[in-house]
Amino acid sequence: MTTIRPTLMLAAIALAAGLAPAAMAKPVPRKAPAPTARDWRTPDPQNILVIDTNKGRVIVELAPEAAPKHVERIQVLTRRGFYDGGTFFRVIDKFMDQTGDPTNKGDGGSDLPNLKAEFTWRRDPASGTFVTVARPTGADIGFLGSMPAIGQGADYAGMTSDHKVSTWGTYCPGVLGAARDEDNDSANSQFFLMRYAYPSLDKRYTAFGRVIWGMKAVRAIKVGEPVPDPQDRMIKVRLLADIPATERPKIKVIDTRGPWFKAEVARVRAREGADFSPCDIDIPVRVK
């Protein structure tokens, strides 16, 4: 139960990002000046998952707009202490770290019912929550907060009954996904953190957040399928809102709606040309 199956093909996220050959030939702009105070945002502490592992701290920003039921489930189980002590029992290099099973074997879950898949969500282009960074033909590539995502072009909204378009998280490094078995609606408590990009998982596994701090720890977890005698574990998992104020980390994330991020996107697109993907963009984070 609750296994994710990698495929051999690592597809490109976008074959083109709207750059003309002449534009790709231009010199790459210099890195933007340091962000100003207005370029940072303070994330909602209810949607920040702090995972203390034996390899270091990992901080994940959840994306309730993309997958509200999956976000609610991980919040509920976290507050129960369900994940404390759980091992990373299935870890594949160049792919992902899987955890969240109380049996630490891959065939267990919580006492709560399984979740229906939330592979895609309906996006209102007028809401302003999704920031587009490229518009290849018929599609929008961008970010929902810190999570990279791809969707139908905003122009399609005028042709749909709800005036919204279909959108999905794309599996860049750090993306949080819900593990499941062969049934699409079988996710429960297990999840995985991407070590590297694997876009062939898009629209096949629910993406509902992204690591914003601690990728070094994610990639330091011992590899194995299954991991022999797994020792790497989540010592304690908490929501930022539940950590006592005296020990709560102060977190700032670059606002993808701000001018600094817009300039950084332009720089990265010029550097990558037609090979551009949202996985190429780093979102700065401050943790104190």
Residue 2 included in any domain: no
What CATH number is associated with residue 141? 2.40.100.10
Kindly indicate the confidence band of residue 27, based on its pLDDT and cuts at 50, 70 and 90: low
Residue 5 pLDDT > 90: no
Residue 133 pLDDT > 80: yes
Residue 34 included in any domain: no
Residue 182 included in any domain: yes
Residue 1 included in any domain: no
Kindly indicate the confidence band of residue 29, based on its pLDDT and cuts at 50, 70 and 90: low
Residue 15 included in any domain: no
* Domain span including residue 270: 21-29+41-287
- Give the mean pLDDT of 259-280: 95
Residue 13 pLDDT > 90: no
- Is 0.85 topped by the overall pTM? yes
3-state helix/strand/coil string of the chain: CCCCCCCCCCCCCCCCCCCCHHHHCCCCCCCCCCCCHHHEECCCHHHEEEEEECCEEEEEEECCCCCHHHHHHHHHHHHHCCCCCCECCEEECCCEEEECCCCCCCCCCCCCCCECCCCCEEECCCCCCEEEEECCCCEEEEEECCEEEEEECHHHHHHCCCCCEEEEECCCCCEEEECCCCCCCCECCCEEEECCCCHHHCCCCCEEEEEEECHHHHHHCCCECCCCCCCCEEEEEEEHHHCCCCCCCCEEEECCCCHHHHHHHHHHHHHHHHHCCHHHCCCCEEEC
Residue 7 included in any domain: no
- Give the mean pLDDT of 55-62: 98
Residue 9 included in any domain: no
pLDDT value of residue 14: 40
> Number of folded domains in the chain?
1
- Give the mean pLDDT of 44-50: 98
pLDDT digits (tens, 9 = 90+) for 203-246: 999 999 999 999 999 999 999 999 998 999 999 999 999 999 99
Residue 126 included in any domain: yes
